[in-house]
Structure 1
Amino acid sequence: MIGVIAKLTIKPGTNTDFEATMKALQAKVQADEPGNKLYALHKTADANVYIMLERYTDQAALEAHRAAPHFKELGRKLGDYLAGRPDVQVMQEV
């Protein structure tokens, strides 16, 4: 299994639109990516910082996620809300 933690810092005041776009992406990932086992957005104590937890069966499933049309389409839209590049950690499960 592959685990991913992505820290997403958004522009102030974009929470509603950001969360709606993430929910749309989450629904597509869960419906269309059989290698994805977890795709969950979490709020933090900072209103502008979110954590996305992801889990994939293997590296191929992670690569399929990154190449998926819905990820590319909605990922571009998410760029409108981000205050900088996501801080992404990819880990191999022990």
Structure 2
Amino acid sequence: MKLDDWFGGANIVEARAKIVAILTAKPGQARALEELLRGMVAPSRAEPGNLRWDIWQDSAEPGRFVLDELYRDQAAVAAHRGTAHFQHYLAVIDTLAQRQAHVVLPFVVADLVPAPSTREPKPGDAT
């Protein structure tokens, strides 16, 4: 199985756009921040150029959330930023949280391994 096959035939060599954002709720705003972020999951994942949109909550600091986003390319990021749900996010986020965002244009450095149930054995694999 080729690496591209694990991604539904997507050409993983082309430039992707990765965004990691760390959002720390302002005092008393953790619940509202979580609700805002949860409301963005479905519409963000439904965007044609979106490959991943996950929310992580810090167990050591429950008011801190990490957004893990991956887009097909920079055009998909631009399309995301033009959506109604992202514009709503921009309109309210500064009242709810302090934020840091990092945008990376990554390429694959090491092979990704599919789930064990779908991976074909390779010579030398332990049985």
The verdict on a shared fold, with TM-score over 0.5 as the criterion, is yes
Q: 1:90: which partner in 2?
A: 103
Runs of 4+ deviating beyond 2 Å: 77-80
Q: Read off the aligned partner of 1:92 and give its amino acid letter.
A: L
Query: Secondary structure of the residue that 1:90 maps to in structure 2?
Result: strand
For 1:80 and 1:25, locate their aligned partners in 2 and report how far apart those are by CA, in whole Å: 17
Work out which of the two has the higher radius of gyration on C-alpha atoms and give 1 or 2: 2
1:41 matches 2:55: yes
1:4 matches 2:19: yes
Structure with the largest fraction of strand = 1
- Cα deviation, 1:4-30, whole Å, max 9, x if unaligned, reads 110111113322221111111112212
> Structure 2: 5+ residue runs without aligned partners?
1-15, 108-127
For 1:17 and 1:7, locate their aligned partners in 2 and report how far apart those are by CA, in whole Å: 16
Question: What percentage of aligned pairs have identical amino acids?
Answer: 29
How many angstroms does 1:73 deviate by?
1.4
For 1:77 and 1:50, locate their aligned partners in 2 and report how far apart those are by CA, in whole Å: 16
Structure with the largest fraction of helix = 1
Q: Higher relative CO (CA 8 A, sep ≥ 6), structure 1 or 2? A: 1
Q: Read off the aligned partner of 2:95 and give its amino acid letter.
A: D
TM-score, normalising length: structure 2: 0.65
Q: 2:35: which partner in 1?
A: 20
Query: Secondary structure of the residue that 1:79 maps to in structure 2?
Result: helix
- RMSD of aligned residue pairs (Cα, Å): 1.4
